[in-house]
Amino acid sequence: METEEKTETELRILKSSFELFRKRGFKSVSMDDIAQHLAMSKKTLYKWFRNKDQVVHDATQNYLQNVQSECECQLTQAGNAVEELFQIMALTKQVFSEMHPSIFYDLRKYHPDSWALWKQHKNSFMLGKVKANIARGMREGLFRNDLDVEVTARMRLALIELPFNAEVYPPHEFNVRQVQLAVLEHYMLGMATLKGHKLINKYKHITEEE
């Protein structure tokens, strides 16, 4: 029973902490902020975690695991490769809503171990899913058959972090989520055949009506 309570408490701390990190960036959130947000004492917080770096690491790990589970669930329901991308687009809206523009910069500069988690997630899980989606679309005649799957998939991964580049998209001028969706749509249309374009327009119409 004690283990279950500990797990529940830790998960509550990790989930709440990441919500703060996501909205305000990793650098600007302190252990005091986390304790106050959770309505617990800092002493209690330190009972579960040695320091902020551990909170960031475990919260990031927990968040990425949840994203992976959600992604797996979404993709298994898709009837074709284009529908998969629209499922990913819906997940992108959810993931990047209220995402602070500095989140990748902060993670890379101040929390290298946690940044390594993101790189592993991107270069293993995400790369595999993107490559599988491209290959599926080519088989279904929805994506061009002359695509280099490896090159195209890695380009897509690079595009994920592009909206967070303040030199390209200054945060006071651009909304991260809107840029992410625009980039994803551009990527999708660039791969599509005529058959794929027709299906994309169909799904766009359905999405816009919703």
* Beta carbons of 57 and 117 less than 8 angstroms apart: yes
Report how far residue 204's alpha carbon sits from residue 189's, in angstroms, rounded to the nearest whole number: 12
pTM for the complete prediction?
A: 0.84
Instruction: Parse the chain into domains and list their residue ranges.
Output: 51-209
Phi/psi of residue 148, nearest 5 degrees: -90, 105
What confidence score (pLDDT) does residue 74 get?
Answer: 81
Please say whether the structural domain 51-209 has been given the CATH code 3.30.1360.170.
Answer: no
Using one digit for the tens of pLDDT, what is the confidence trace for 95-135?
777 788 899 899 999 999 999 999 999 999 999 999 999 99
Using one digit for the tens of pLDDT, what is the confidence trace for 23-76?
999 999 999 999 999 999 999 999 999 999 999 999 999 999 999 998 888 888
